[in-house]
Amino acid sequence: MTLDIVIARPWLREKILATDAGVLLDGLVLVATHTHSGPGGHLEGWLAERLTAGSFDPGAAPRLVRAAVVALERAHATLVPVRAGALVAGLDLARNRRHPGGAREQDVSVLRLDRLDGSPLAVVFSYGVHSVVLGPSNLRHSADLAGARRRRLDEAGFPALFVPGALGDQNPLHETRSPWSAEVSLQEAELDRAGERGATAVRNAARSIATRAGADLVYREIRAETPPLALRRGSLLAWLSPLVASMIERFLSDDVAFSGLDVGNARLLGIPAEPATALGDAIRSALPPDRIPLLVSHANDWLGYALAEEDYATGGYEADLSLFGPGFGEWLVGRSVAVSRELDLARRR
């Protein structure tokens, strides 16, 4: 399940699961699409308010929970057997915001789900890029790039679910010279162009997928103890650590869920953080060759940014918000691979 908010926290997932919606679930992966223009206010506290771009509103979380439960009820009421198939296609819609000319996301993973008669039921697509086409002068709630692509796909007859991939260092490519013009109308025109480019790639990929009946459906989840806080030396947070360290520790979860879901030949891996694309490449390369990887960042929780150790050493915004030291990226890859292996074991049983 995806919500068009900047981050999701585990207590939000727990509230959804605790609601009596008449829906029996083997598992729930709650994903934030990480739009920076989504509603905030559902998290309480000085740090949380700044991370979610909204002053705390006691009614915000109940509204999110209710919307999520309604979506679950609707999905449950329309359950049907499906045919499934997945592939990876090219998509050139991202740039490395840390290193010009550096590694960037150039592939989109697409899972197509059809009814048994072959008519399209839905597509799920994973791509690593921030939904930040709209700039600070836009004051309206928006799903931004995530929503623009979904809308175009819906119009083409492919109801769509977007999940963010390895987006930690990836921003959208812009056709305009100034990516954040003060003119909201220019931002929206840029959003329309980017949304069409992304949707076209997904739509063309979906049309070429041959779906199959009898697809495996396997879910596994592992829990991992959160590493100890280790703020990057020299960062502003480290300088302020006497004031902010306890606040950050209260915000962070003691342990987190890593999830895995096999649907046909697709493998979705839920990651409770914001990994850079190099880490996404490391996870994807560790998967079996018969699995099409769909990385799902911002799944169930948010532990901050995660970088490869050599990139962490170069500093910058993302490194300063990588809260567990230089080895956090390797730790994140290891746990993601571990849940993937759990799925491999389940398939062999």
What is the reported pTM?
0.94
pLDDT (tens digit, 9 = 90+) per residue, 128-176? 999 999 988 888 899 999 999 999 999 999 999 999 999 999 999 875 5
Question: Distance between CA atoms of 68 and 337, rounded to whole angstroms?
Answer: 29
State residue 92's pLDDT score: 94
Domain ranges of the chain: 1-78, 80-215, 217-348
CA angle 48, 191, 301 (to 5 degrees): 25
Residues comprising the chain, all counted: 349
Mean pLDDT of 4-15: 93
Question: Distance between CA atoms of 267 and 130, rounded to whole angstroms?
Answer: 22
Q: Compute CA 209 distance to the chain's CA centroid, rounded to the nearest angstrom.
A: 23
Whether 178 shows a pLDDT value over 70: the answer reads no
Closest CA to 192 of 214, 176, 216: 176
Whether 310 and 142 have beta carbons less than 8 Å apart is answered as no
State residue 347's pLDDT score: 86
Q: What is the DSSP string of 55-122?
A: ---TTHHHHHHHHHHHHHHHHHHT---EEEEEEEEE---EEESSSTT-----EEEEEEEEETTS-EEE
Whether 177 shows a pLDDT value over 60: the answer reads no
Whether 122 shows a pLDDT value over 60: the answer reads yes
44: part of which helix (H) or strand (E)? none
Strand, helix or coil at 234? coil
Structure tokens at 231: 């703020």
Whether 12 and 42 have beta carbons less than 8 Å apart is answered as yes
DSSP state of 157: T
Whether 348 shows a pLDDT value over 90: the answer reads no
State residue 8's pLDDT score: 92
Residue environment code for 96-119, b if the CB has 16+ CB neighbours within 10 A, otherwise e = bbbeeeebbbebbbbbbbbeeeee
